[in-house]
A = this chain, B = another copy of it.
Amino acid sequence: MRASRYLIATQKETPNDAVVISHQLMLRAGMIRRLASGLYTWLPTGLRVLRKVERIVREEMDRAGALEVLMPVVQPAELWEESGRWQQYGPELLRIEDRHQNPFCLGPTHEEVITDLIRNEINSYKQLPANFYQVQTKFRDEIRPRFGVMRAREFTMKDAYSFHVDADSLQETYDVMHDAYCRIFNRIGLDYRPVLADTGSIGGSSSHEFHVLAQSGEDDIAFSSESRYAANVELAEAVAPAGERPAPSKEMQEVHTPGQKTIADVSAFLQSDPAHSVKTLIVLGEAEEEEKAPLVALVLRGDHELNELKAEKLEGIASPLEFAPEARIAEELGCGIGSLGPVGLKIETIVDRAAAHLADFICGANKDDYHLTGVNWSRDAEPGRVADLRNVVAGDPSPDGQGTLEIKRGIEVGHIFQLGDKYSRAMNATVLDENGKEQVMAMGCYGIGVSRIVAAAIEQNHDDSGIIWPEAIAPFQLAIVPINMHKSDLVREKCEHLYEALRAEGVDVLLMDEPKARLGAMLADVELMGIPHRIVVGDRGLERGVVEYKGRRDAESQDFAESQLLEILLEKLAG
């Protein structure tokens, strides 16, 4: 591509409304422009990157045996009513009416449409397993679209859906897709992790997320220091501390703690470590029909955080999790929430594994302005049910028994699910099995945020000068920067010759041929745009038979003999 026939559209200023670096750099590098909240136009440079990501995704989906289809953006409400999601899905589902007042939605995902298609097209186990994907525009009416294309309302997604006669076949395809996802992110050149994940609102039985590691990520990921274990912190198991609980060594004592309500306050007041205290949280249990929901106490170590997802999955706990109103606590338990504790508590108590391992700990006395010290389980309080209630923290043992956990932030760019029969049962998607018996199909679904990958790659690869593209998805592989091309016939001739020679080799090359462009401005644009390789061609170098080369990550430029330039560049580009 010639810059003179291209829209470079770089900007020097950092846009005010862009918070994260990828959003800033995508605007500054001329990749996207905002049309309205959460709606972006992809300019030529951005689209070149998006298309390269799409191509890698398609190649790996084809290789994994998935068949490409294309389903409509606009979907009829009736299918969503069949699956139950017309009611369940929040306002992120943009519901619309056509000119005849028939209800439709803009597809945020396509489980219903594909399930409807497959129940009509596939009726025998012999046609299974089947796996379909599309690369399609999705719409989710986010309440606060932000971070540019990272959390846009309209975005490009690859979604795939597989259908199976049984769970084993689903597991097989799930594994194939897991591998395909790894190949995709490896080929793109991202530092990513597949992590165990919660199945969330889509439902189903098993799930992995694929996270690009980056400081700006919205998710916390726990990794083992020694194994491949990785899980979203939401899901990572906090294992019980090793060994026996220490024996009691102190007597239980009541101490006056006037006005001290938080763990931090009490620990400071008593000059103790928060890890030697417990906190007691009161939530609602599951209500029997027509009865008021009972109160349940959750006891955690003072320095730990409740994991609400874990708690609400426990038997006897209301889901979604709901904290008890303070007034009800005061009335039924006789004290404020800053003075609760497990000793003598008359309601069901569930104790986190780490809290259950403490001896001689501090807790509230169930009496305002009083705490207990030297408390011990069994002797002073019944530990009752012990469960995993908390978020893991750095240094926790890895649940697979190998090493300890580290916690990093990640950007979710892919998510695969074993849906089981959630949709196929609701929509009666069946096949005849080997015995001629009707069988509800098992389903998997597999998403990749294609446009989000572009932003995530930048979050992971940039410096003060701009983007540093992984080679596989760079908008251009190489830039030719001439010095005074409009004045020097020799420079023009060499640049044109090299440009054509590289194009003939299939290289995506950008020739900076704008007449009168200043060298500094051109180099700044090439760096901002993140082009992995660039050369500078000028009369002074040519006199010495050299051109200047610099890789985007290189600290220093180097001179290459002009006579061998093409070979050297092709070698560099081949990696």
Interface size class of A (residues with CB under 8 A): 35 or more
- Known A-B contacts A35-B113, A113-B35; the reply to A40 vs B72 at CB < 8 A is yes
Task: Indicate if A7 sits at the interface (CB-CB under 8 A).
Answer: yes
CB pair A41–B73 under 8 Å, yes or no, is: no
**Given A50-B70, A96-B96, residue A76 in contact with residue B154 (CB < 8 A):** no
* Residue pair A69, B43 in contact (C-beta under 8 Å): yes
Cβ distance A483 to chain B, nearest Cβ, rounded Å: 21
Task: Please choose the segment from A137-145, A168-176, A229-237, A549-557 that sits at the chain B interface, where 4 or more of its residues have CB less than 8 A away.
Answer: A137-145
Chain B proximity of A468: nearest CB distance (Å): 24
Contact assessment for B69 and A44 in the assembled complex, using a CB-CB cutoff below 8 Å: yes
Chain B residues contacting A200 (CB-CB under 8 Å) are: none
Does A6 sit at the interface, judged by CB under 8 A? yes
Contact in complex: A7, B76 (CB < 8 Å): no
- Residue interface mask A92-133, B partner, CB < 8 A = 1: 101010110010101000000100110011000000001010
What is the distance, in angstroms, from A12's C-beta to the closest C-beta of chain B? 15
Contact A98 B141 (CB under 8 A): yes
8 Å CB contact of A154 from B44, B72, B120 = B72
- A102 contact set on B, CB distance < 8 A: 36
Chain B residues closer than 8 Å to A137, beta-carbon distance: 73, 137
Task: Write out the residue numbers on chain B whose beta carbons fall within 8 Å of the beta carbon of A39.
Answer: 72, 74-76
Is A42 on the interface with B (CB-CB < 8 A)? yes
In the complex, A50→B6 CA distance in Å? Answer: 27
Known contacts A96-B94, A96-B96: A121-B9 contact under CB 8 Å: yes
Q: Are B42's CB and A69's CB within 8 A?
A: yes
Instruction: Give the shortest distance, in Å, between A518 (CB) and chain B (any CB).
Output: 15
Complex A-B: 10 CB contacts under 8 Å = A33-B117, A33-B121, A36-B74, A36-B76, A41-B69, A44-B68, A44-B69, A47-B69, A72-B154, A73-B137
Q: Top 7 A-B pairs ranked by shortest CB distance?
A: A42-B70, A36-B76, A91-B99, A39-B72, A44-B67, A96-B96, A41-B71
